[in-house]
Amino acid sequence: MTAPGPSSRSNKHPRFTRIRCGILRRKGGRFSMSNDGTVKRNVAVGEKQPVPFGLPVVMRLVGAVIAVLVAGELARADFQFQDWWFDRDQAGQPPSGFVPGSVNLDSGRWEVKADPHSSSPPNVLAHISSDQTGLSAQVLFLETVEAANLELSVRIKTDQGGKGLGSGVVFRAQDDRNYFVIWLSPQENLFRLDKVVNGQPRTLQEQQVETKPGVWQTLRLSIRGPVLEAFLNNRFLSAREDGWELATYKKGRIGLWSRGAGVVYFDNMRFTSMDGGTGTMPLGGDKSTIIK
């Protein structure tokens, strides 16, 4: 009997193809090779495609877990802003939630005044000073509040006053003799940034502005780390650590500031601590709102 040749053997056995890795797989089965030499898996109709579990999949899973954790931290770090309109305070009395600094107490006083023509009647906060030197600044601090990163805005109005009249906002104050202050000098038509050390001010930056007595001005302040952004009626003043030494006072108290003979009015104050969520907020104020 004649032994079967290669052709007859090929009819009795399924045909095999050797792929590059040296493993034999049957064509028409689970694997096949395309024309370019790559191996692919054949998926039958209705069969679910298997999910590879290699390093890319692990990295995707790790990324998803991190995203969930970050989202949870952000949810727990809701920020809260607080408004002071001074409308719940009694006229003729100091405002609640604030404490005056101890320097130059005899040169003026802080008190709530009725003003039906204010930007948000019926009340405003006034600083009334008889200081004729124009050098005796007074600070009114937010009580029990410290912040490094913050958003703050306030409306300011100055009447025609005496020498050195000015008003503004104090931040990162160590006490009422060491702080930064952004303030408006209506006589000089200047918007200024000063650093005060042991009661002695030094101007770090200033910008020419146009102001009129008896007109409300809006001052807005934003601080993130070493960067300050300040606006007066949407006019921008910016400074950084290397220009004005913000890192000298990395964190501190926040307050209102006034100096010179005359009367300065404040209203619609809004403060937001951006350091760590709602736990940093003071008690008091007219309204509190949580930012989700």
Q: How many CB atoms lie within 10 A of CB 85?
A: 21
- Nearest CA to 245 among 200, 198, 196, 199? 196
Structural domain range at position 54? 6-76
Determine the pLDDT at residue 213.
85
What's the pTM value of the predicted model, to 2 decimals? 0.69
Q: Which two tokens stand for residue 226?
A: 């070493």
Q: Is residue 292 scored above 80 in pLDDT? A: no
Please name the helix (run of DSSP H) or strand (run of DSSP E) that holds residue 9, with its range, or none: helix 6-12
- Nearest CA to 97 among 217, 269, 251? 269
Q: How many CB atoms lie within 10 A of CB 109?
A: 14
Which of 52, 76, 100 represents a domain boundary (last residue)?
A: 76
Determine the pLDDT at residue 100.
94
Q: Residue 56: inside a domain, yes or no?
A: yes
Who has greater pLDDT, 150 or 235? 150
- Nearest CA to 91 among 117, 114, 118? 114
How does pLDDT run across 47-98, given as a tens digit for each residue? 444 444 454 544 554 454 444 343 444 344 456 789 999 999 999 999 999 9
Q: Which two tokens stand for residue 255?
A: 């307050």
pLDDT confidence tier of residue 237, bands split at 50, 70 and 90? confident
Q: Which two tokens stand for residue 77?
A: 């770090």
Q: Is residue 116 scored above 60 in pLDDT? A: yes
Stretch 227-256: mean pLDDT: 81
Mean pLDDT of the chain: 75
- Cα–Cα distances (Å) from 264 to 109, 157, 258, in that order, read 11, 6, 7
Determine the pLDDT at residue 114.
97
Determine the pLDDT at residue 235.
84
Who has greater pLDDT, 141 or 33? 141
Which of 76, 100, 127 represents a domain boundary (last residue)?
A: 76
Residues 111 and 22 in one domain: no
Who has greater pLDDT, 15 or 231? 231
Who has greater pLDDT, 34 or 151? 151
Q: Residue 1: inside a domain, yes or no?
A: no
pLDDT confidence tier of residue 243, bands split at 50, 70 and 90? low
Residues 22 and 134 in one domain: no
Count the domains in the chain.
2
Q: Cis ω on the peptide bond leading into residue 94 (within 30° of 0)?
A: no
d(CA 281, CA 82): 8
Q: Taking a C-beta distance cutoff of 8 angstroms, is the pair 118, 251 a contact?
A: no
Q: Taking a C-beta distance cutoff of 8 angstroms, is the pair 180, 171 a contact?
A: yes
Which of 23, 53, 76 represents a domain boundary (last residue)?
A: 76
